[in-house]
């Protein structure tokens, strides 16, 4: 590869890795597995080493992580929380051992620890009291998440001794908690977390600590950061001391005298990790002697005295017995592999993602094939490859259907799309998925109407369109499984209450292509009524800020359908509101008490829930943030307001109690 080719490849890898970093560290929504990410990073590092003239300071290989989120107060780590270099095989481990021994003039031993798959955090104690908890962030700057970490019961609020110390650990969600959380979300029709790490990170970045408290998180403390106390000469001694102070440390760590013992430890846990009650994604190996650690020092981004062995992606071999096709809300037909049950990463796998027709053809996947599947962090594993040597001659290439598996309508592939799509608006599968979307939290928010209840309603032939939801009666609902009188009454009340929702919720719930919640809000504010929106042409829509040609075209096409006009009229007859209830930006004057102000909510609000209070402030022109700073204009404090109230008072920020907040809203 010449310099020009290397430059192009390096540029491409940097762009990809920067995007993956953003998705992982900022959005907490990774789109690739750790293994794939590591491979791309190794390729980038290798190319930069081969072409040092192309290495730059802004390369993802030269930094420690992603930028922190803005919702929390930023915390500067006095000692950086650096990442570790990676080892992927025995050769890498022996190379690490060689470098360590070449850099030390005394005998060296190692401490091996399980690498917990969670969120790295820093805990600070002053005179034995927990005063601050922060995320790792980019290694130098994290976010203050003290209020959430206090809900983790394994974190001591007071130590056994009055130490002033900063410790580092990994907050995580046990497997049992993760399964319970996803079961609850599935029943509510909410999006599932991809893995326990994402669930833990999402929990600790919630503004409301009550949410984190319900997630049953845990933590293992694995090292000391800033500490002016007793000097201990070995990392193993520090782990023992941390336990004495009252911290929860992982009991599976082991001191190893040789690299062979380290490799034996790695092999053992590579095989035995499915039996753990929490997820691990590798083994951390550290030099035990502190003075050797000090002598070896650091590179720009990681210590020379520690390394992380990363497990390969979990793979298994099984037979693909069928390919199941499902139709989503937008009509996209998605293939899923049905497998002979096989154990992967401690769970029995029966299904694997095939994504789309192009992937099936690219990998030449056929029904009856012996396939390799992997589970590297995804809920549904994926087919990696076919073992063609085991293929019998009678297996035919798989062909996607030409007609919808649910309704029999012709399938089409729209321009610039890889997916096949059913465009029949009366397709039962689309109607069912559309109903699940319609009742979801960001749409009409009908509590109690989860995916399972919707499926029952369809099975019993009680609903076909969203209008049918508003025709349900008590007698019909009592016939459903697990629906007692109290549940039915609550559900009917939730359905009735949803009729009052503002127009933007209805627009989002209708599932118009390209119309997300933000676009729905923009449309509702602009047109005020659904009738005015239905009369708008493409030119009218494109004149609105943030509405482009593709969105405008989709909206016009949707409302031109005769069945949509009939549906809207039926919803009106059933009493569903089709007008915008909020305050438009034009109506927000300088006299609004919140116009242009940055507001923070804290403590328990009795009359308005946190989300409702936030929306009311925003509709009056205010901006609600999660942390108090010099830029905060107003703090609204409910009962049990804590550190935010103290900080606001010290900064001279105006403070209202809930009674004043309610009076102001009533005056508007």
Angle between helices 175-187 and 196-204 (to 10 degrees): 80
Q: Is 644 a catalytic residue?
A: no
Q: How far is CA 86 from CA 13, 14, 39, 109, 558, in A?
A: 18, 18, 11, 19, 51
The Cα 92–Cα 102 span in angstroms is 15
- Residue where the block lists tokens 């029904």: 367
The Cα 315–Cα 21 span in angstroms is 25
Q: How far apart are the first and last CA of the chain?
A: 68
Q: Which one from 40, 55, 74, 115 is the annotated catalytic residue?
A: 115
The Cα 256–Cα 258 span in angstroms is 6
Q: How far is CA 131 from CA 124, 196, 244, 439, 643, in A?
A: 6, 27, 19, 42, 11
Q: Is 6 exposed, middle or buried (CB count within 10 Å of its CB: 0-12, 13-18, 19+)?
A: middle
Question: To which H or E segment does residue 287 belong?
Answer: strand 280-287
Tell me the two tokens of residue 57.
Answer: 């300071």
- Single out the residue of 166, 346, 206, 181 nearest to residue 273, CA to CA: 346
Question: Dihedral sign, CA of 180, 183, 185, 188?
Answer: negative
- Single out the residue of 601, 607, 616 nearest to residue 147, CA to CA: 601
How many of the other CB atoms lie within 10 Å of CB of 318?
21
Q: How far is CA 489 from CA 31, 251, 452, 574, in A?
A: 41, 50, 18, 19
Q: Which residues are catalytic?
A: 115
């Amino acid at each position: 590869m010449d310099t020009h080719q290397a430059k192009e490849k390096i540029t491409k890898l940097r762009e990809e890795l920067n995007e993956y970093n953003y998705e992982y560290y900022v959005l907490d929504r990774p789109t690739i597995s750790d293994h794939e990410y590591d491979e791309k990073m190794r390729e980038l590092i290798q190319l930069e080493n081969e072409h040092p003239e192309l290495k730059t300071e802004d390369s993802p290989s030269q930094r420690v992580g992603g930028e922190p989120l803005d919702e929390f107060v930023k915390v500067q780590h006095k000692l950086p929380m650096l990442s570790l270099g990676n080892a992927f095989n025995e050769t890498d481990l022996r190379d690490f051992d060689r470098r360590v021994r070449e850099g030390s003039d005394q005998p060296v031993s190692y401490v091996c620890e399980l690498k917990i798959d969670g969120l790295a955090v820093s805990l600070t104690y002053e005179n034995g009291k927990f005063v601050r908890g922060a995320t790792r962030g980019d290694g130098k700057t994290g976010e203050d998440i003290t209020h959430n970490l206090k809900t983790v019961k394994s974190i001591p609020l007071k130590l056994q001794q009055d130490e002033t110390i900063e410790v580092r650990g990994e907050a995580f969600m046990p497997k049992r908690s993760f399964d319970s959380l996803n079961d609850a979300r599935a029943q509510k029709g909410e999006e599932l977390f991809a893995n326990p790490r994402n669930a833990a990170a999402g929990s600790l970045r919630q503004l409301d600590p009550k949410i984190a408290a319900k997630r049953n998180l845990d933590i293992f403390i694995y090292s000391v950061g800033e500490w002016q106390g007793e000097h201990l000469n070995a990392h193993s001694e520090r782990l023992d001391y941390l336990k004495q102070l009252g911290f929860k440390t992982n009991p599976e760590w082991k001191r190893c005298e040789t690299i062979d013992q380290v490799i034996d430890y790695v092999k053992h846990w590579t095989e035995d990790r499915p039996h753990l009650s929490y997820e691990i994604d590798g083994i951390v190996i550290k030099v035990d002697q502190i003075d050797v650690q000090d002598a070896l020092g650091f590179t720009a981004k990681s210590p020379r005295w520690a390394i992380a062995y990363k497990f390969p992606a979990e793979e298994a071999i099984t037979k693909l017995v069928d390919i199941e096709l499902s139709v989503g809300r937008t009509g996209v037909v998605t293939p899923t592999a049905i497998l002979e049950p096989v154990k992967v990463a401690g769970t029995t796998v029966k299904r694997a993602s095939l994504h789309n027709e192009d992937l099936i053809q690219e990998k030449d996947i056929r029904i009856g094939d012996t396939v390799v599947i992997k589970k590297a962090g995804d809920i549904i594993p994926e087919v990696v490859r076919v073992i063609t040597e085991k293929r019998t001659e009678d297996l035919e290439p798989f062909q996607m259907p030409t007609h919808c598996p649910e309704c029999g309508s012709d399938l089409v592939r729209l321009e610039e799309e890889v997916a096949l799509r059913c465009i029949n608006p009366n397709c039962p599968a689309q109607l069912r998925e559309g109903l699940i979307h319609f009742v979801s939290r960001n749409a009409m928010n009908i509590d109690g109407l989860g995916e399972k209840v919707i499926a029952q309603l369809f099975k019993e032939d009680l609903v076909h369109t969203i209008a049918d939801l508003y025709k349900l009666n008590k007698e019909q609902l009592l016939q459903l499984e697990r629906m007692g009188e109290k549940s039915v009454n609550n559900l009917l009340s939730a359905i009735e209450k949803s009729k009052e929702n503002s127009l933007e919720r209805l627009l989002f719930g209708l599932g118009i292509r390209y119309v997300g919640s933000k676009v729905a809000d923009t449309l509702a504010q602009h047109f005020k009524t659904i009738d005015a929106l239905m009369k708008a042409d493409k030119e009218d829509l494109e004149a609105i800020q943030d509405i482009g040609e593709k969105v405008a075209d989709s909206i016009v096409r949707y409302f031109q359908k005769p069945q949509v006009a009939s549906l809207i009229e039926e919803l009106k007859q059933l009493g569903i509101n089709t007008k915008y209830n909020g305050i438009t930006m034009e109506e927000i004057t300088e006299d609004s008490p919140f116009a242009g102000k940055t507001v923070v909510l804290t403590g328990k609000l009795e009359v308005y829930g946190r989300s409702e209070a936030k929306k009311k402030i925003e509709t009056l022109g205010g901006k609600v943030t999660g942390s108090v700073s010099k830029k905060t204009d107003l703090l609204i404090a409910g009962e049990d307001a804590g550190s935010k109230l103290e900080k606001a008072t010290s900064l001279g920020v105006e403070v209202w109690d809930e009674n004043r907040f309610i009076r102001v809203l009533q005056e508007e």
